[in-house]
């Protein structure tokens, strides 16, 4: 689409493609929703912990994307609660958001 007079068009398609490549998710299987309904994430879920630096980078990238993708806003806000002490279950939830994109 092209920009026109008195209209704004925002597309972050390239950003999403680059994001998927950066986190090795470009060939992933697609899903129809960013989160599993009725699945509750907890701080101390008993799962193994993961590298928080990697997780923070991914959450930050998704937060930036929420400016134009309101459909992932709720999911990203939920997963960002676990940014300081992420587990493998939290990482699986964030990968689902990537698969949705």
Model confidence pLDDT, tens digit, residues 22-57: 888 888 899 998 888 877 887 888 788 888 898 999
Residue 32 CB coordination number (10 Å): 6
Task: Report how far residue 26's alpha carbon sits from residue 14's, in angstroms, rounded to the nearest whole number.
Answer: 12
- What is the helix (H) or strand (E) element at residue 94, kind and residue range? helix 88-100
| Residue 1: pLDDT band with limits 50, 70, 90 | low
Note whether 76 and 63 are within 8 A (CB).
Answer: yes
Average pLDDT, the chain: 86
pTM, rounded to two decimals:
0.81
Domain coordinates in residue numbering, the chain: 19-29+48-100
Q: Measure the CA–CA gap between 16 and 22, rounded to whole angstroms.
A: 10
pLDDT at 7: 75
What's the pLDDT score for residue 97? Answer: 94
- Furthest CA-CA distance within the chain: 55
What is the pLDDT at residue 76? 93
């Amino acid at each position: 689409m092209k920009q026109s007079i008195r209209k704004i068009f925002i597309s972050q398609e390239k950003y999403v493609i680059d994001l998927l490549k950066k986190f090795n998710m470009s060939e992933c299987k697609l899903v129809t929703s960013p989160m599993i309904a009725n699945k509750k994430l907890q701080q101390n879920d008993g799962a193994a912990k993961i590298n928080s630096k990697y997780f923070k980078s991914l959450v930050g990238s998704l937060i930036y994307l929420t400016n134009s993708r309101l459909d992932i806003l709720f999911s990203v806000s939920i997963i960002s609660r676990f940014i300081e002490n992420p587990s493998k279950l939290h990482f699986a939830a964030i990968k689902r958001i990537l698969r949705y994109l």
